[in-house]
Structure formats: structure tokens, C-alpha cells
Structure 1
Amino acid sequence: MTAYLVATLALVAISTIAGLALNLQWGLGGLVNFGLFGFVMLGAYTCGLLNVAGWPPLVAMAAAILVTAAASAAVSLISIRLSDDYLAIVSLGFAESLRLFISYEEWLTRGTLGVPGIVRPFTGWVPPAAADAVFLAFAVACLALVYAVFEKLARSPFGRTLRATRDDPTVAEALGKNVLWLRLRTFGLGGAALGIAGSLHAFNYTYIDPTQFGPVITAYAFMAVIIGGRGSNTGVLLAGFTVVLLLEGSRFLIDAFGLLDGARLAALRLLLVGVALVAILIFKPDGLVREYRLTSAAKEGP
């Protein structure tokens, strides 16, 4: 039970990092990224392949962050004039193309056989009994770092300009803001966080293959942003833990209710998440936490 809890919390941290990346790109910037799972996959494969080639885990992770950030910026540059549905289609097309490339280019990615033998950070520094707990602490530290950086950005002039561009890019551009350069940086920063999430995914399972990455990763990220509150990093943090813990914790319903078989349990789990999402949209349309807005204190007296 303890090992399962540690593994679940590590998965929560990884999913929440992906949610924070989407919140920066879509929540604050208004840039729809349906191909989020592709960037996570790119980060995982870059880190995993370099790791099994002999690179130290942290160095491979750093390389994965740079590659994923560059790829994200390149995708935004290619689709620089697109927005909304068109940008979503381009990002989704990139992710599917990458998935097919990884599946069939065995000379580089080992194809559907996957990449085994990925070494976690700090392996050999800690006793095997504490390895999972140490990795969980490392994943939580990465989550805290991403949250702190993105929260700082949200409260900075960069974040305020990003929200203004999201609400009305024409007005922002008329005020002298370089909207295209802003979009490029936003996608790049979000891609860096997705590189972290992908690297942690590879370290968590120590084995990766193309079947581990699909639209469900994007769906979890969108649920975290919608439930938590679009534009609110704190809300995404709360919702990320809530959504994943609800999905994983509901596995134990089969022990509590003997009438539930595997198929019914899977349907019930999706129903619970769906009901929770609808309830949030009805009673808390702005999410659990409203996004940060700069306000000025009212002057008192003459």
C-alpha cells in the first residue's frame, strides 16, 4: 500500500506539472495546445534515450528540457499566424506525427519495443528501500520549482501582458506589445515544463514505449486547468491533486463494493470525474481559485 501511494503521488506531481504548462500556454496566453502529450513524449524519449546511452540522469533531463522547449517554440513559430482551433489542430498534428515517428523509426527510438533500463537520478546514492521515496521527493521538488517560477511570471509584467494578449491581442499590439514574440516565449516556457514532466515520466517507470502517451495526458491537463481555474496556478495545483487522486483512489472501490467488476469500476470512475467536472462548471464557473489580477488599493479620504 505504501509503495502504491508513493507511485500515485509521483504520478500526481508529473500530471500537475503538465497542467501548469498548459495553464501558462492556454490559461494565461490563450494558446490552445491539444498536442501536449506529444511534447511530454518528446521529453520522455529524449531523456530516456540519452540516459540509456550513458548520460547521467540529470544531464539527460536538462537536455530533454532544452529539446522540448525548442520544439515547442518551433511549433509556435510555424503556426505563428494561427489561433484558437487552427493552432489546436497544428499542435495535435505535431503530436500524432511524433508518435508515428517514434513508433516506426526503430533505428533511433527502438520503436514499439520501447526503451528499457532508464536509470533514475540519485540511484546508487541511496539504499534501494528508499529509492521510491527519494524519487517522489525529487518529483515534488520539480513541481514546486515549476509552480514558483510560473507563479512569479503570472504576477510579473510578463504575465499581465500575456493576459492582455489573451483577452484582446489587437489592443495589446496597438499598445506596442510584440504579440508574436510573446507567443513564442510562452510556448517555449510551457515546453520546458513539459520536458520536465516527460523526463519524470521516464524516470518514474524506468521504461517507456509509445503506448504510454496519448490524448488522455492532454485531457488530464485540461481537466486540471478547467477545474482549478483558468489562469490560476494555485487552482491547477489543487485540481491536479484532486483529479488524479480521484482517478487512482477510486480503484479501491472494487474492494469496498463487491458488486463492482473491472468494467463497471472503470465506468464509475469516469462518471465520478465527469460529474465533478460538470458540478464545478455549474457552481464554480471560474474554477476553484480565480486567477491573479493586479489591483490597486482604494484611496481613503481627501
Structure 2
Amino acid sequence: MDAYLIAIAIITAIYVLMALGLNLQYGLTGLVNFGVVGFFCVGAYTTAILSQKGVPQYITFPLAALLAMAFAWPLGLVSIRLREDYFAIVSLGFSEVVRLVATSEGWLTQGVQGIPGIPKMFGTFSGTTQALAVLGLLVVFNLVAIAAMLRIVRSPFGRMIEAIRDNEEAVKALGKDPAGFKIQVLVLGSALTGLAGAAYAHYIGFISPEQFIPLITFQIWMAIIMGGVGRISGALVGAIILMVFLEGSRFLRDVMPFISEVAMASVRLGVVGLALVLFTMYRPQGLMGDFTRK
């Protein structure tokens, strides 16, 4: 049971990193990014490919974040001036292109066969000790990310991106260029997502294109909506709530044994979807949102 709980905590910490990145992009700036899983995939494959060539992890992790940033920059240049709904479609298309490239370019990614044997983090340890070391590292990553976001929020840059979220036309009237700020935010948020992808690859030890489907993106969206859009604490709490629903629903078959294993996957998605609907109806500002608003 201890090993299971630690494993859940590790995946939760990876999701928190992605939720923090999306919260910076959407919660603080208003960027509707439906391509989260694309940057997650870039980070995972970057570290997996380099690790297979013998590059140490202390180099592959920052390179995974940097390459995710590199992918985000041209995407931002091309599409950031589009309306919010069009940018959402473009970002979703980007994530699918990344997944298709990972599937078709077998010379680089080994295609649908995936990349096995990715070195584990803290591979010199074993068992619970190794898992706790991984969890500790991810906690450090999250604490650093939270500290950086708090600093951003309290800075002139943070006030500017919040102004863009609230009234972009007013920002333009003041002579500022919202597009430049949006690109910077897209790049910074994507770095966190790429770092999360690197951590995921090294923790799981095997990646394939089927692991990077759009469902991951919408799970991260569920997390920040349930936790509270625009709240750093909301990204943390939302990811925990999401994981409670995802993992807790695994035990539904104990109370509903008449449902087959195959059908249970749909039931689990239904439970998570119902939770999101209920949050939207009765707590639209999220669990950590403004309690004075209804």
C-alpha cells in the first residue's frame, strides 16, 4: 500500500507541474492552450532520446524544458494574434502533430513501439527509497515553480499579464503589446510542462505515442477548473482532487461488480466528468477561488 500511495503522489506532483504551467497561461493571462500534452510529449521524448545516447539526467531535464520552450515560441509567433477560440484550435492541432510525428518518425522515436529502458531517476537506489527520492525531487521542482510564480504575480510583469487577461483592449490603448507578453507566458508555461514530461519519462521508464493523447490536456484543465482558475493554490489542490477522482474511481467495481472491466473505464470517465459538471454548477470559481462569489 505504501508503494501505491507514493506512486500516486509522484504522478500527482507531475500533474501539479503541468497545472502550474497552464494556470500561468490561462489563469493569469487568458491563453486558452489546448496543446498541453504536446509540450508534455516533447519533454518526455527529448529526455528519453538523449538518455538512450548516454546523456546524464542533470542535462536532459533542462534540455527537455528548453526544447519545449523552443517549440512554444514559433507556435506563439504564428498564432498568438488569433482570437482565443482560434488559438485553442491551433494549439490542439499542434499537440496532435507532435503525437503523429512521434508515431511516424521511427528513426528518431521508434514509432509505435515506443522507447523502453529509459533510465530511472536515482537509479542507484531501489524500492521505496528510490520512489521517495523521486517524490522529493518533484516536490522541490514544484516548490521552485510555485516560488517563481509568486514572484511573477507580484511583479510588474504579473500585473501586466493579469491586465491582458481582464481587458486586452485597454492594454493596447496604453501602448503596450499584449502579443509579446503572451508569447513569453506561453514559453514559460511550456517549460514547466516539458519538465513534467521529462520526469514522467524517467519515472515510467517507457514512453510511446499512445501515452500522449488529448485526454491528458483536458485532465489538466479539469484540475485548474476544480482547484480555481488563476490561483496558484488552485493548481495544487485541483491536481490532488483530480487524482483522488481518477484513482478513487478504480475501486468502483468493488461496489458495482456487475460492471465489466471494459465498461468500468467509461464509468470512471463519467465519474470525473460528473465531478467537473458539479464544480462548474455549484463552485464555478473552484475550490480555492473567491469564497465571496457564488
Scaled to the shorter chain, the TM-score interval is over 0.9
- 2:178 maps to 179
- 1:283 maps to 282
Paired residues of 1:46 and 1:63 also in contact (CA < 8 A): yes
Deviations 1:35-82 (A, max 9, x none): 111110001000111111101112101111111012112211111321
Deviations 1:100-152 (A, max 9, x none): 1111111111111111111123322x345511221122122212222221232
User: What code does the residue aligned with 1:57 have?
Assistant: Q
Distance 2:135 2:251 in 1: 22
Paired residues of 1:69 and 1:189 also in contact (CA < 8 A): yes
Deviation of 1:264 after TM superposition, in Å, equals 4.5
- 2:97 maps to 97
Q: How does 1:110-125 map to 2 (within 5 A)?
A: 110-124=110-124
Q: TM-score, normalised by structure 2?
A: 0.93
Unaligned runs of 5+ in 2: none
- 2:2 maps to 2
Q: Which moved more, 1:195-204 or 1:264-273?
A: 264-273
User: What code does the residue aligned with 1:51 have?
Assistant: S
- 1:253 maps to 252
Residue 118 of structure 2: SS of its match in structure 1? coil
Residue 176 of structure 1: SS of its match in structure 2? coil
Quickly say closer, same or farther: Cα 1:93–1:142, change in 2 above 3 A: same
Deviation of 1:261 after TM superposition, in Å, equals 3.2
Quickly say closer, same or farther: Cα 1:105–1:263, change in 2 above 3 A: closer
Residue 175 of structure 2: SS of its match in structure 1? coil
Q: TM-score, normalised by structure 1?
A: 0.91
Unaligned runs of 5+ in 1: 292-302
Residue 75 of structure 2: SS of its match in structure 1? helix
Q: How does 1:1-302 map to 2 (within 5 A)?
A: 1-124=1-124, 126-290=125-289
User: What code does the residue aligned with 2:45 have?
Assistant: Y
Q: Which moved more, 1:156-165 or 1:270-279?
A: 270-279
Moved over 4 A (4+): none
Deviation of 1:95 after TM superposition, in Å, equals 1.3
Deviation of 1:208 after TM superposition, in Å, equals 0.5
Quickly say closer, same or farther: Cα 1:159–1:188, change in 2 above 3 A: same
Q: Which moved more, 1:269-278 or 1:195-204?
A: 269-278
Distance 2:162 2:267 in 1: 37
Quickly say closer, same or farther: Cα 1:127–1:266, change in 2 above 3 A: closer
Distance 1:231 1:8 in 2: 25
Deviation of 1:193 after TM superposition, in Å, equals 0.4
Paired residues of 2:3 and 2:128 also in contact (CA < 8 A): no
Residue 33 of structure 1: SS of its match in structure 2? coil
Deviation of 1:2 after TM superposition, in Å, equals 2.0
User: What code does the residue aligned with 1:87 have?
Assistant: F
Deviation of 1:229 after TM superposition, in Å, equals 1.4
Paired residues of 2:228 and 2:235 also in contact (CA < 8 A): yes
Paired residues of 2:120 and 2:205 also in contact (CA < 8 A): yes
Residue 95 of structure 2: SS of its match in structure 1? helix
Give RMSD over aligned pairs: 1.6
Deviation of 1:242 after TM superposition, in Å, equals 0.6
Deviation of 1:166 after TM superposition, in Å, equals 1.3
Deviation of 1:211 after TM superposition, in Å, equals 0.5
Distance 1:80 1:252 in 2: 43
Paired residues of 2:121 and 2:203 also in contact (CA < 8 A): no
Q: Which moved more, 1:135-144 or 1:52-61?
A: 135-144
User: What code does the residue aligned with 2:223 have?
Assistant: A
Paired residues of 1:8 and 1:245 also in contact (CA < 8 A): no
Distance 1:266 1:108 in 2: 32
